[in-house]
Amino acid sequence: MLNLLLLFTFLMSAEMLIMQAMQRLEIAVSFFWLEVFLDATLIAFITVLIVRLFIKTNRLTIRHDLNSESVLLRAGLIALTVETMLMLIFPLIRVSATGFAVTLSDGVVFSLITTLLIHYLLLKPANLVPVNQRTLIDKILALRGFLLFCYLTSLSLFLLLLLNVYQQQQQSYITQAVAAEKPQLALIKNSLNDHISKAALDTLMLARQENLQDLLSGDPEARNRLTNDYLNLASIKPVYEQIRYLNAQGVEEIRVDQGSLEPIVISTENLQDKHHRYYFKDSLKLLAGQVYISPMDLNIEHNQIELPFKPIVRTASPVFDRQGNKQGLVIINLNASALFTQLKGDAKNTAGELMLLNEDGYWMFGRERDAAWAFMFPEYKDRTIEKYYPGIWQKIIGKDRGAFLSPYGYFIFDTIATGRATPEDPQHNKLAAELHWPEWKLISLASPNSLSKAYSNFLPPLAMFFVLTAMVTGVGTIMYFRIQRKNLISQQQIEQLAHHDVLTGLNNRNIFIQILELQLTQSRRTQEPLALLYMDLDQFKPINDRYGHEAGDYVLKQFAARLKQILRESDLLARLGGDEFAALLSSYGNKRQLEIIAERIISATEEPVSFRGQQLQVGISIGIALHFQGLPLESLLHEADQAMYKAKRMQSNSYCFAEAPEEHQNVQITS
């Protein structure tokens, strides 16, 4: 156990070092397969070196049926397969973890799986039957299991590879879609800025009108001319909800509103005092030639929000008389409903949900059902973006533009800075900061699925490609299995013909001699005696002559079957040729037990064999030779043969022991 823990530690350290090295290489995401190949190859090579070191230092004991070269090769393949799978699985698992945490997790999982597989497949003593001793069915089942394992493993690796390719391509497509969304937002921002800028220029123009100067100078006709100017401008630009001139006290002097059919002039008795409104107070601070842009809010008339909602942006510029004295303000109320109509049209060209928020995170466009204009109503002041998307506003408010992935999707945003001037005009920038001119956030919220919707059409063909590949490789694997199964059957048949008697199915003379030599060599090493029974059928030739060879073959088969029932499975039984048989017995016990076996064989042989209504009778002569220490190994078969002939000369159905040296006559062996 300690050595396995040490192996685990070595593998984990090596894997973490390799992972750190791969991260330093900074291989492009599109070449992830190269990183997988390098990582898996390196860790496989290092695993081979570590296992070799442990075997050389006797820290690991390999399985008895494997050699060191085979163990090293299999250990490398195990490490290669495990690391390849992990390298393909980890990118598919979206976890929010640091690079070190991912490296540590990969190192622990790889080392644990690899160590366990090496232990159970290469080191743990196996209760497996050696290949050369397996039956044909066992060999076929082992082949089928091995091919099925290879097929499923290869198919799994291929599937993981395809999933990684799909994910990388999908992520690349999303990145391109996000990048394409940014200029789309910039176009929308520029369009909104253009509308506001035009209103600001018109406001500045109205503040410098000669008719307005004439009005300030006391010209009685100037008011009518100025009113007509306002009516004409409102007719040309219906998005101008109101055009007003307010005196220095905040009282409306001239006001033109958009009516249901055409612009109308507000009568003197309906003019209002606006000195308490924020936009009047802020605009009055401006210098000549400057324009104030108000935050966007809903229009209020007589201290009530006008229905239906009218989103308004006000542009204002101070009015100075010819002597340079500030006399009031010119204000244009820009109806943002037209801007929102344009936003709705622009939203069709964006990949995500388009939203416009003020600098406090309140919706002005988007979420119309539950959160739009919430800042205008005291009871809904909590309905900011932070309520619906916690933690998002902090990432947006401090930057002019950008994009990031969140649990809610991709946020792509840009900033509409209405009061921001060029860097060459610091005074204007300072004034904009003091007056808190609005900055709006234009946001597109897109889910990964919506961004990759077009690319998702590639998934069905990819799945079809995988299915076809699985089918083709599966058919190929089945065909290969059938070919190998036929080869195993043919090999088994060849071995059967080479080593077994065709008629009785017993071992033939060649294999019997080979195994006899091996048994005698083992007997020499273990000093364990052997017994050899040499058997020959009596009165067999007359059966062939009288009843034919078919009857003789049937008698031989029946005799072989009776011998199998009498002898043990561990005993070696063979047909040496014709009507001669032999049996090699190890751990036979003592001489009396051999006599009992010989008597059982004689008794079984004396029973007649029924063949086509005829009772066929044969006899048997048995020669028994014992191998003792000190006797030449090559003489055992000869001694048994001579003992058999001796028994045949004595009488039919008898057995005889070969003579042994005098010092071995009374040897008793127990099993």
What are the residues facing 245 on neighbouring strands?
254, 330
Comparing CA positions, the residue from 576, 581, 601 lying closest to residue 654 is 601
Angle of helix 136-207 relative to helix 337-347, nearest 10 degrees? 160
CA-based nearest residue to 444, from 126, 243, 182, 98: 182
Pairing of strands 326-335, 311-320: antiparallel
Query: How many angstroms from the chain centroid is the CA of residue 641?
Result: 71
Q: DSSP character for 404?
A: E
Query: How many residues are listed for the chain in this entry?
Result: 671
Residue with tokens 């499975």: 569
Cis peptide before 308 (omega within 30 of 0): yes
The radius of gyration of the chain's CA atoms, rounded to the nearest angstrom, is: 51
Q: How many CA atoms lie within 13 A of 126 on its CB side?
A: 15
Q: Give the pair of three-digit tokens for residue 501.
A: 């008697």
Burial 199-232 (b: 16+ CB within 10 A, else e): bbebbbebbebebbbbbbeeeeebbeebbebbbe
**Cα–Cα–Cα angle for 354, 403, 440, nearest 5°?**
50
Q: How many CB atoms lie within 10 A of CB 183?
A: 10
Say whether 315 sits in a helix, a strand or coil.
Answer: strand
Give CA torsion, residues 183, 184, 187, 189, to 10 deg: -100
Q: Which two tokens stand for residue 443?
A: 């946001």
Q: In whole angstroms, what separates CA 555 from the centre of its chain?
A: 67
Catalytic residues: 579
Per DSSP, the three-state class of 505 is coil
Q: In sequence order, what are the residues at sequence separation of 6 or more whose Cβ sits closer than 8 angstroms to the Cβ of residue 488?
A: 136, 139, 140, 143
DSSP state of 214: H
Nearest to 465 by CA among 157, 149, 158, 151: 158
One-letter identity of residue 465: F
8 A C-beta contact, residue 257 and residue 241: yes
